[in-house]
A and B are shown apart, each in its own frame.
Chain A
């Protein structure tokens, strides 16, 4: 089954997010109050290893399992979407203590209230799709 590896990667992600406590509303509060190094340590380590890995992937033109050279897509240019969209996202991140991934991990943890947050995020995404052309990017 071709899809199984993605489910397994997702399971691993759910476990990592849980055991790192990055899905914890409390830890996100700690981060936005600068009262612990924990979250900064997690993101910092992930990015540091990420930078080196991507450098090596590009340098040696490593291939994926289908034999294609790994390409990392460029994000769209423009600063307005990052500042405006990012700020809106950050406000929601502080309220819910969860970015999109951790919403689903928390649901699996048994916090059913996250279902409503997930519904909200889906409606929010839909609203963006409707108003996209009227927003500065």
Chain B
């Protein structure tokens, strides 16, 4: 059993588990949506004095911060105890495409070339990481949600704004991958 959990999960098991988490949150009386945490963090830091958007009782959102803490623990447990040590099975064509951008596939979860700690201390790495985060934070709040809120909860409840947002996610991802990556890598 443990061996089965330690191997990468097939897409249908993964997808089913994600919907299970969404349903679990409904039964807990909450709605699954991760990016709201950034708004809560801003509010907890006192941003409510600067903008009305952050002027709410952030303590009502504590449950989502607990979910966030859990997700860090889940990542730690997976990397250290639920891992069979096998390299990631990436499509050959992706390996070749990344190679032509100068990014070598290392079989890990993320390329250390881009996400190794040393990237915090060189200019290109610093700008890429901070800038990427800025785009996600700004964009998810502007769009009114991220992958969990729109692509999972929103599409599951057949909401048109969520479909539009998911189309936006893909426009942005395709533009960045196919048009901007060749310029920055």
Interface residues of A (CB under 8 A from B): 3, 5-33, 35-39, 41-51, 53-54, 57, 62, 64-66, 68, 70, 72-79, 81-101, 103-130, 132, 135
Report chain A residues within 8 Å CB of B169.
86-87, 89-90, 93
Report chain B residues within 8 Å CB of A5.
28
Listed A/B pairs (25) with beta-carbon separation below 8 Å = A3-B63, A6-B30, A6-B63, A9-B24, A14-B74, A18-B79, A23-B109, A28-B173, A32-B178, A50-B152, A50-B153, A54-B157, A57-B23, A82-B144, A89-B143, A93-B172, A94-B177, A99-B140, A100-B34, A100-B37, A100-B146, A123-B130, A125-B39, A129-B54, A130-B50
Q: Which of A8, A42, A84, A122 contacts B41 (CB 8 A)?
A: A122
Q: Are B66 and A75 in contact (CB under 8 A)?
A: no
Category for how many chain B residues contact A: 35 or more
Report chain B residues within 8 Å CB of A116.
120, 126, 129-130, 133
Query: Per DSSP, are chain A's interface residues mostly helix, strand or loop, or mixed?
Result: helix
**Known pairs A15-B78, A96-B136. 10 more at Cβ < 8 A?**
A3-B62, A10-B67, A11-B73, A14-B76, A16-B74, A36-B94, A81-B144, A86-B172, A95-B132, A124-B38
Interface residues of B (CB under 8 A from A): 5, 8-9, 11-19, 21-31, 34-35, 37-39, 41-42, 47, 50-51, 53-54, 62-64, 66-79, 82, 88, 90-91, 93-94, 97-98, 105, 109-111, 114-117, 119-120, 125-126, 128-159, 161-162, 164-178, 180-181
With A75-B154, A86-B143: A9-B67 Cβ-Cβ less than 8 Å: yes
Report chain B residues within 8 Å CB of A129.
39, 42, 47, 50-51, 53-54, 141
With A16-B14, A76-B144: A117-B172 Cβ-Cβ less than 8 Å: no
With A47-B151, A50-B156: A14-B71 Cβ-Cβ less than 8 Å: yes
With A8-B70, A94-B172, A109-B79: A26-B161 Cβ-Cβ less than 8 Å: no
Q: Are A107 and B62 in contact (CB under 8 A)?
A: no
Q: Are B146 and A99 in contact (CB under 8 A)?
A: yes
Q: Are A86 and B42 in contact (CB under 8 A)?
A: no
In the assembled complex, the Cα of A111 lies from the Cα of B111 at a distance in Å of 10
Report chain A residues within 8 Å CB of B116.
113
In the assembled complex, the Cα of A93 lies from the Cα of B168 at a distance in Å of 12
